Amino acid sequence: MKVLGRLLGYARRYWLALAAGVAAMGAGLVAALIVPYIIRVVIDRAIVGGDVRLLGWAASAVVGVSLIRGVFAFGERYAMEYLAQKVIYDLRNALYSHLQRLSFSFYDHAQTGQLMSRVTGDVETLRRFLGFGLMNLVSNGLTMLAVLAVLVSLHWRLTVLSLATLPFTVLAIARFSREIRPAYTAIQQQLAVITSRLQENLSGVRVVRAFAREEDEEARFHRENTAYLERTVAAARLWAFFFPLMNFITGAGTALVIWYGGREVILGRLSLGSLVAFNSFLLMLIMPLRMIGWIVNLSQRAQAAGQRIFEILDTEPDVRDLPGARPLPRVRGEVVFENVSFTYEPRGAEGDDSFTVHDINLRVRPGETVAVLGATGSGKSTLVNLIPRFYDPTAGRVLIDGVDIREVTLESLRRQIGVVLQDTFLFSASIRENIAYGRPGATLEEIQEAARAAGIHDFITGLPQGYDTLVGERGVGLSGGERQRVAIARALLMDPRILILDDSTSSVDTETEHAIQAALRRLMVGRTTFVIAQRLATLKSADRIVVLEEGRIVDEGDHAALLSRSRIYREIYGLQFRPQEDAGREGS
């Protein structure tokens, strides 16, 4: 009911469509109630009484009433479907917008396929409920109330007898509802698992093929698909048992009407026309009762889907604009870490082993280049991720030009920070759109200037469609070096004051590496730059090197000074950078 209440909250703004649908529903119901009365008149006065003239009038009346019912049925159906589509449109937009604003910590644990399943399959389930289930719920409720009133007016004792099976109907519906809801929740969850598996394998199909793991992946998908089949069949079994049971219960009620009503006609206490009309009204009552199973089925699916959708909408982003946050003006680029500690765990205490970085104190001058060095898991990426507020410090604060970054808006902060990482992500769009992603209004000349500075312009102009060339999903149409230079051009076009770079170029050839390094040097000029150091050239050219070990700064200085005094630096240098130096000597 909570899910239904929240859906109706979305529907409130379209109250006019809802009112029109309910009005058309009521008018159609009134028209439907007229037909059994016409049948009673025909039987009692035309057939039994021999008034032939009434037959033509009655036939014309039935046709007219049916036409009116058709008009109102169209209005009801259109209004309710319009309402459903508008509500789902708003809900889908709200869900997508909320996903855009959720923190990185949410995506650290969420599966892409699960999220896709909720935005598509679960939302569609709610649409079906709003368009069909809710309409039938209201319509059947009104029909049952109206028909019960009419039945009592015709013959109250026969009405009581015909409803003798109603308690059994209620018990059957209650039992079915209690069992079918968890069944459909399990179905929705398993469908999301299948979607996740499908999305992951389609994205990684090249890896699957390269390692000849097609059969293993097919077996894994088969297991998940089998689990989905079993859960669906289990729900179908419940439904298959419920529907015949409802038929039997309602059939027993009809048998009682025939037995008692027939006696009443024979004894002269009820006319034949009234009995036929009563049975017609009873059929109008039985149909909604039979539809209850279908409505329960649809509503339980909607409950399961709605819970999964509102679970996302109720998730508050860990990182968001605080009340009173102001835009960050154009910055000089001074970055200061004051007693900063951070853990990915929900809770932790300073000094706890769960902390990824511990008590970081660091001041970086405007325009300074700082290389961040450390072994795997030392906290390098975590440290730089705190600057654009991908995460907020667990303790301490980060300042830019003396301003706590939590006091400014996220948009104004991130528009002044450029990020170029090794795993470059490009959208399924043109090269021009990818370069201009941070500045959609940039002119072609500005885009070309950024591409020239990134050393990618000549390559782009050599493509058949030039800057309008589509790069494919995640930039699959480009090599790793080309993707990275497009990302550098994208950062250049934003003209950020602060840069965060991963200078790893181990996956490209020497010529491409030199081109990327040259582009990066142009990008770094006059900007405060944090580089996750992977190359020897970066260490030697950096103004300062910060050495991390187990999340703590253990030393800092230039390359020569650290090499002479720092044991940890010499160890890392010997493992990661000495082979590069030796290879450079051999190459020369």
Strand 552-557, strand 395-400: pairing: unpaired
Which uninterrupted H or E stretch holds 151? helix 134-154
Quick one: pLDDT at residue 350?
A: 45
- Residue environment code for 526-552, b if the CB has 16+ CB neighbours within 10 A, otherwise e: ebbbbbbbbbbbbbebbebbbbbbebb
Taking the CA of residue 143 as centre, how many other CA atoms within 13 Å lie in the half-sphere pointing to its CB? Answer: 25
User: Nearest to residue 401, comparing CAs of 498, 338, 337, 333?
Assistant: 333
For the chain, residues with pLDDT lower than 50 are 348-351, 506, 586, 588
User: Nearest to residue 450, comparing CAs of 413, 478, 475, 487?
Assistant: 487
Contact 151, 270 (CB under 8 A): no
- Record: fold of 2-313: ABC transporter transmembrane region fold (1.20.1560)
Q: Where are the domains of the chain?
A: 2-313
Q: Report the DSSP beta bridge partners of residue 371.
A: 531, 545
User: Nearest to residue 480, comparing CAs of 531, 419, 424, 522?
Assistant: 424
328 vs 410: CA distance, rounded Å: 9
Q: What is the pLDDT of residues 352-398, one digit of tens each?
A: 567 888 999 999 999 999 999 888 888 888 999 999 999 999 999 99
362 vs 98: CA distance, rounded Å: 34
Local structure of residue 406 (DSSP, 8 states): G
